[in-house]
Amino acid sequence: MATSLAFGPFRIDGEAGILFHGDQPTPLGQRAVALLALLVERTGKPVPKQALIDAAWPGQAIEDSNLTVQIAAARRMLESAAGGGSWIETLPRHGYRYVGPEVAIGGLGPEAATLTWPGKPSIAVLPFSNLSGDPEQDYFADGIVDDIITGLARINWLFVIARNSSFTYKGRAVDVKQVGRELGVHYVLEGSVRRAGGSVRVTGQMIDASTGAHIWAERFDRASADIFALQDEIALSLRRVEIERVRRKRPDSLDAYDLVLRAQPDVDSGMPERVTQALVLLERAIELEPTYAVAHGNAAMCHHCLFLRAGLQEADREASIRHARLAILHGQDDASALTLAGFSIGMDGHDRKAAFTALEAALAVSPSSALTYILGSVILGWSGEAEQAIEWSERGMRLSPFDPWAFAAFDAQAMSHLLRGRYGEACRAAYRSVQANPAHSITYVQLAAALAKLGRLEEATAAAARVRELHPTFRYGRQFAAVHCAPALAQCLGEALQAAGLPQ
């Protein structure tokens, strides 16, 4: 492949395997870029299907449908230029041909040595050092990095440099700032792998390529399957860093992405006053980008909170469902949007089947999405699916032990243990929920019920008093109806809360 192929407003960086539109990298996948590069290199000439397959899937036997999908992806990307959708011509039974603007072939030139950051967080994962003392274990270290790249690439809001580009630095002593300039990324992840017998130690550190400052570092002494935990911690760390970044920006300089980031901590709080503030920012983001799926998903969560904790107003319930449906419509490839939407549809729309269709789609996009498991466990808990609720909550907490939604996972565990008559375990889970979010009334609802079932009525009454303090209009009968609580759970919880002194 030529080092650089420029045509119309596009340029293919052959070494990095990236298609640029102007100076902005596009999210076109590695295989589609390889196909496009071969077509553009042979401009005006027919390219047989087999030649294209060999370029994108070297040494692999694949069906023609895979080629068709990647060609369609390339065409969609080219459509951003006038007439670009017709630049790849289909030659029935033969192959394809590039018939677009004239192509300039050459080196990158000094002006391309520094790439502009994309309009969202960007990261390159460098090859990890093999510290096992056995060169034969290089493949294992490379495989772990492959898994990290694959997992991060599923995160819709994150731009991840392809393996073929980041692995050009393998075996080289590199300056992280230089890597950032050459790959056009804000963050660089580097690390090491040590494998001895049945144990694996993975260390990773994330660096801000613009300053060289360390953002995050962690060591994992577990099975290689726990690579999902590493991916999730990277994502959470990047979220925190990005939120801090937008807090430092002038309010008048915020675009839709920044507005959603600024709103996120208030959405996660689950507090009516704070989600009301978040809605102002989210509505501005939706005005800027009406199809912004995550903005709709977060807006759905805000209205869900207001519905349950600010008077059970039907307008909030309807708004929750409306934004959830828009999040699903526009976020088919966005795990966060699908998760938030599924939760609102399950809890406020009382459509558990549709909810889990969205949650399962989210897990197909991002198998390590802790939030999907956590919020799914809440729906399962209120549905009376106790054992599955506990399983999902534990999986979510395993993926993200310090998640801001941890209180919800513990609530799901508390109500599920309560339903199964395991009152001591319910009490322990409820206490952990209170510790995770002491300002949320539902945590004390679960605690009051568990304490009452244990016969600790004085403590149960104190927890019930805290519920009334945080949520003066709380009536457990109305709350159970609002979340479509399973009859057996409603009876079990209701008896306990009545004994604790809470009104029906």
- DSSP character at residue 91: E
Q: Are 129 and 85 in contact (CB under 8 A)?
A: no
CA distance 393 to 408: 8
38-66 as b/e, with b when 16 or more CB fall inside 10 Å?
bbbbebeeebebeebbebbbeeeeeeeee
**Domain architecture of the chain: domains with CATH:** 4-112 (1.10.10.10), 122-246 (3.40.50.10070), 253-350 (1.25.40.10), 368-504 (1.25.40.10)
pLDDT at 115: 54
Q: Which residues contact residue 172 at a Cβ distance below 8 angstroms, ignoring those fewer than 6 apart?
A: none
Report if pTM > 0.85.
Answer: no
| Residue 223: alpha-carbon gap to chain centroid | 23
Which has the minimum average pLDDT: 181-195, 278-292, 386-400, 490-504? 181-195
Q: Which residues contact residue 81 at a Cβ distance below 8 angstroms, ignoring those fewer than 6 apart?
A: 8, 9, 10, 21
Name the pLDDT band for 139 (thresholds 50, 70, 90).
confident
CA distance 385 to 460: 25
CA angle 476–264–356, rounded 5-degree value = 60
Stretch 235-243: mean pLDDT, rounded?
74
pLDDT at 224: 47
CA distance 450 to 441: 15
Q: Give me the count of residues in the chain.
A: 504
Write down the H helix ranges in 366-475: 370-382, 386-399, 406-419, 423-436, 441-453, 457-470
Q: Which residues contact residue 160 at a Cβ distance below 8 angstroms, ignoring those fewer than 6 apart?
A: 122, 123, 124, 125, 149, 152, 153
pLDDT at 198: 67
Stretch 356-383: mean pLDDT, rounded?
90
Q: Are 242 and 235 in contact (CB under 8 A)?
A: no
What is the average pLDDT value for the chain, to the nearest integer? 84
pLDDT at 109: 40
Name the pLDDT band for 114 (thresholds 50, 70, 90).
very low
User: What is the secondary structure of 273-314 as a DSSP string?
Assistant: HHHHHHHHHHHHHHHH-TT-HHHHHHHHHHHHHHHHHTT--H
Q: What separation in angstroms does the CA of 68 have from each of 10, 51, 53, 355?
A: 21, 14, 10, 32
Name the pLDDT band for 253 (thresholds 50, 70, 90).
low
More confident residue, 423 or 107: 423
Stretch 221-230: mean pLDDT, rounded?
59
Tell me: pLDDT of 1 over 70. Answer: no
More confident residue, 121 or 250: 121
Q: How does pLDDT run across 142-191, given as a tens digit for each residue? A: 877 877 887 777 776 778 887 767 887 887 777 888 888 877 788 898 98
pLDDT at 223: 54
CA distance 157 to 160: 10
Q: How does pLDDT run across 85-113, given as a tens digit for each residue? A: 889 999 887 889 998 888 887 644 433 34
| Residue 438: alpha-carbon gap to chain centroid | 26
Which has the minimum average pLDDT: 35-49, 159-173, 198-212? 159-173
Q: How far apart are the first and last CA of the chain?
A: 72
Q: Give the position of tokens 């807006």.
A: 299
